[in-house]
């Protein structure tokens, strides 16, 4: 199976009827970036809200990986849905990032998804290098010019670059006049960061007026911190012993 580009496939025919109602339709996505925050956030939301698979963005050729889920085999870019408080919440779960050379086509397809599902607001999640932190803030945020929502937190750093698929999608949303908010928790770029993920989910929960329990993420973050502390203590002890031996 080969095609020229990405293609939207809706597998639940009732979705179009659902989105044509007066309910609000929101769209959440993120990518494999700093701290894995974009991917982890969407994955956690899909799991915690027991969202159902309603479609996918099919790649240009058969992927060389999959996993077994409750609904069957997974695809690289899956679309999930749940309805809470009269709001249809759609999540695009990107298990991998789109290929760089096909990024424009991928973003065009995501924009098609947003149009087909009659999305009112888009929420994006990424990680921000902790070296940019200027105070005690946990995250920064930004919005497209058509978005009216404001968050009581520092705005994104002027002059700092956003790169990759999230940047391309932001530019397309701005050009199309679609309201969008992007949330960037601070994170260590090279490590998986469940604590930053919990921060992103708390912000989204507040914006959407829903509840998502993040205790699992915080417990996992504590275990990671404890393991790192133990490793540092072992390394320090080893260095002291070596120093004594060479005195």
pLDDT, averaged per 10 consecutive residues of the chain (247 residues), comes to 78 76 88 93 95 94 88 93 93 94 95 94 96 92 95 93 95 98 93 92 96 86 58 57 54
* 35 DSSP 8-state letter: G
Which residues are paired to 38 by β-bridges? none
- Dig out the tokens for 95 from the structure: 């298990």
Enumerate the domain spans of the chain. 7-213, 215-247
* CATH class, range 7-213: alpha beta
Q: Tell me what pLDDT residue 1 has.
A: 47
| Angstrom distances, CA of residue 151 to CA of 97, 121, 219 | 28, 15, 27
- The two beta strands, 52-58 and 77-84, are antiparallel
In 10-133, alpha helices (H): 14-19, 37-48, 103-116
- Residue 237: the pLDDT is 58
> Tokens in use for 186?
């601070």
User: What pLDDT does residue 189 have?
Assistant: 82
Radius of gyration of the chain (CA): 20
Q: Which of 111, 48, 123 has the alpha carbon at shortest distance from 82?
A: 48
Q: What was the pLDDT predicted at 61?
A: 85
Q: Which two tokens stand for residue 215?
A: 């205790």
């Amino acid at each position: 199976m080969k095609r020229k580009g990405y293609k939207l496939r809706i597998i639940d025919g009732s979705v179009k009827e659902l989105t044509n109602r007066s309910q609000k339709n929101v769209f959440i996505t993120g990518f494999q970036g700093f701290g894995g925050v974009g991917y982890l956030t969407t994955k956690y939301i899909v799991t915690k809200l027991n969202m159902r698979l309603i479609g996918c963005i099919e790649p240009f050729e058969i992927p060389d990986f999959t996993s077994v889920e409750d609904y069957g085999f997974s695809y690289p870019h899956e679309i999930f849905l749940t309805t809470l408080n009269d709001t249809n919440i759609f999540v695009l779960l990107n298990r991998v990032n789109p290929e760089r050379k096909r990024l424009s086509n991928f973003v065009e397809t995501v924009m098609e998804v947003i149009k087909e599902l009659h999305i009112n607001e888009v929420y994006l999640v990424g990680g921000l290098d902790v070296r940019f932190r200027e105070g005690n803030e946990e995250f920064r945020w930004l919005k497209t010019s058509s978005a009216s929502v404001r968050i009581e937190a520092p705005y994104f750093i002027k002059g700092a670059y956003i790169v990759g698929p999230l940047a391309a999608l932001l530019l397309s949303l701005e050009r199309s006049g679609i309201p969008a908010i992007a949330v960037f928790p601070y994170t260590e770029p090279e490590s998986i960061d469940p604590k930053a993920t919990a921060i992103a989910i708390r912000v989204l929960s507040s914006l959407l007026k829903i509840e998502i329990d993040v205790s699992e993420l915080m417990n996992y973050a504590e275990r990671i911190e404890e393991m790192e502390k133990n490793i540092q203590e072992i390394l320090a002890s080893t260095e002291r012993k070596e120093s004594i031996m060479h005195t």
